[in-house]
Amino acid sequence: MIAALTIAERQRAIAISAVLALCGFAMTIAGSDTLFAVHGAIVLLFSLGCIGLVMSQYFAPEPSDERLTRYYDDPTRVGIVLSLGWAVVGMFFGVWVAALLAWPDLTFDAAWASFGRLRPVHTSGVIFGFGGNALIATSFHVLQRTTRARLPDQFSPWFVLIGYNLFCVLAASGYLMGVTQSKEYAEPEWYADIWLVVVWVVYFLIYIRTLQRRKEPHIYVANWYYMAFILVVAVLHIVNNLAVPISFGEAKSYSLFSGVQDAMTQWWYGHNAVAFFLTSGFLGMMYYYLPKRAGRPIFSYRLSIISFWGITFMYMWAGSHHLHYTALPQWVQTLGMTFSVVLLVPSWASAGNALATLNGAWGKVRDDATLRFMMVAAVFYGLSTFEGSFMAIRAVNSLSHYTDWTVGHVHAGALGWVAMITFGSLYALVPWMWKVERMYSPKLIEVHFWLALAGTVIYVFAMWNSGIIQGLMWRTYNDSGTLAYSFIDSLVAMHPYYIARTVGGLLFLLGAIVASYNVWMTIRMSRSQPEAEAGDADLPVLQGAALQAGE
């Protein structure tokens, strides 16, 4: 890996790591005995680790120019492994917090192990750790294949991948220590947020530099989605995280916005994190790996245009449906509801486009669990976008909001759509990346598929039941015209569903462990066998080393 870097790139890696190490050291000094100093120490150790890694092979011979005739896939390989690692960690914390709602004392008598601190480790672990790493890894792969251009250099992809994981580590360790700004899905504090902006700018530059050198005249639809993901997430992240720290040596900061404006900004962010992180990015994945695996072209080019611009335009209006019947002015609520309902059109255009692409390949869907993962993902995408539009209607929302129904809806999307499309794509990608004919065990993919599907269905049904029961109990009146149930009555009624939800989550976690084992064994298999032709025409179609011209 390091040996594939040029000497100049190795020096750049060491120099940037050293700068980062200095930042960590400065944080440690400035923070004296606060949690800020602990994070400084983590940054310091992390960057020293990077320096050590580069130094270990610093004197390896330089790679030949022949490397420029091949795509650069090392960051993708590492990204896949990191993504699966975060999946297991994030889902483990998910099962733990799920269990805590059924058995609240299933933990240690320590601050770090209480529900409120563990929960964001779960949400950030799966969204940013698992999802984010998968997006970065696949985007580098898809970008090169669809532009027929090599990544612009070999250092910046590493900066993005490693830097992004440093952000994830700061986030997760911060939550356990009590560092959070409480904005849902934007919990990390100001310094981690600034660091993510730096990483993100480099990510965008990689994208645009590669696109500018593309050999294909047209930018493929998958890249539209990856670009929307990168650009809009940057805007959302910067605006929602505007804050004033109490000093430059402490972690705590206060949000620039307050009350109703803060609520609207937060859910403009929150809902579009769903739109542009968990939808747009993964649609990019789907538009490449699904047709590739099915061996069929995308059903309709025009549908993909309609759905892309529809999603990009309309999602940004939908955030206020999180605030129905609150102190947010009603005109904003109504706008949010309207656009949320119309959003069904572009969403189903994408889901339908994916399923229609499979026409003529249904035999493959039956026999190939990898393709089936993607098919089921498209179905769940269609289902949860329908559910989302439905729940955004004010009258429905009056029942569903604040209940487990929302949690069920989120997991129909996160497990059924995001995780399924990711696992399907990774199963397709791993053999190409490690140059083996197929995954170590197709049987285990089949096992994983059924574990994941069963887990999702159990989870979602449990939450539908509990959410609707909760919502109904809260608003039920008895004959004398007073409320029929106390709050605690509704909580007691949730108990069986909370157990069922834990079981569903556990099945899904087991599936992720099976996947990690399968990928690990595939990597080992690739080491023990002579380099075979990859099973797919995924080999480079680069002509000559001129690809880096202009850089």
Partner 1 sequence: MREFFHRKLERSAIGFVLAIIGVSAIGGFVEIAPLFTIGETVEKAPDMRVYTPLELAGRNIYIREGCYACHSQMIRTLRDEVERYGPYSLAVESKYDHPMLWGSKRTGPDIARLGGKYSDAWHVAHLINPRDVVPQSVMPRYGWLMRSELKTEDLGRHLKAQRAVGVPYTDAQIANASSDAYGQASPDSPYAGGVSERYGEATNVRAFDGEPNRLTEMDAVVAYLQVLGRLTDAAQKQAAAEK
Of 62-121, binders to partner 1 (CB under 8 A) are 100-102, 104-105, 107, 109-111, 114-117, 119-120
d(CA 115, CA 97): 6
d(CA 523, CA 128): 24
Between 33 and 66, name the residue whose CB sits nearer to partner 1.
33
Q: Kindly identify the residues of this chain, within the stretch 153-182, that bind partner 1 according to CB under 8 A.
A: 175, 178-182
DSSP string for 158-201: HHHHHHHHHHHHHHHHHHHHT-----TT--S-HHHHHHHHHHHH
**Which one of the spans 50-58, 135-143, 401-409, 535-543 is the region binding partner 1 (CB under 8 A)?**
401-409
Minimum CB–partner distance for residue 112 and partner 1 (Å)? 10
Is residue 407 within the footprint of partner 1 (CB under 8 A)?
Answer: yes
Q: Kindly identify the residues of this chain, within the stretch 300-359, that bind partner 1 according to CB under 8 A.
A: 305, 309, 312-320, 322-329, 332, 335-336, 339
Q: Kindly identify the residues of this chain, within the stretch 410-449, that bind partner 1 according to CB under 8 A.
A: none
Between 17 and 156, name the residue whose CB sits nearer to partner 1.
156
Between 449 and 459, name the residue whose CB sits nearer to partner 1.
459
C-alpha to C-alpha distances, 467 to 167, 291, 401, 464, nearest whole angstrom: 34, 37, 9, 5
Strand partners, 253: 245
Between 320 and 370, name the residue whose CB sits nearer to partner 1.
320
Between 179 and 452, name the residue whose CB sits nearer to partner 1.
179
Minimum CB–partner distance for residue 255 and partner 1 (Å)? 4
Minimum CB–partner distance for residue 477 and partner 1 (Å)? 8
Between 116 and 295, name the residue whose CB sits nearer to partner 1.
116
d(CA 133, CA 288): 17
Q: Kindly identify the residues of this chain, within the stretch 183-222, that bind partner 1 according to CB under 8 A.
A: 183-184, 208, 211-212, 214, 217-219
DSSP string for 43-88: HHHHHHHHHHHHHHTTTSPPPPGGGGGS---HHHHHHHHHHHHHHH
211 burial type by CB count under 10 A (0-12 exposed, 13-18 middle, 19+ buried): middle
Instruction: HSE, CB side, 13 Å, CA atoms: give it for residue 342.
Output: 17
Q: Kindly identify the residues of this chain, within the stretch 510-539, that bind partner 1 according to CB under 8 A.
A: none
- Identified binder of partner 1 from the candidate list 6, 63, 238, 262, rule CB under 8 A: 262
d(CA 198, CA 194): 7
Minimum CB–partner distance for residue 376 and partner 1 (Å)? 27
Task: Supply 76's token pair.
Answer: 């993708």
Q: Kindly identify the residues of this chain, within the stretch 446-485, that bind partner 1 according to CB under 8 A.
A: 474-475, 477, 482-483
Kind and range of the H or E run holding 551: none
**Which one of the spans 16-24, 47-55, 127-135, 228-236 is the region binding partner 1 (CB under 8 A)?**
228-236
Task: Describe the crossing of helices 330-342 and 369-391 by its angle, rounded to 10 degrees.
Answer: 150
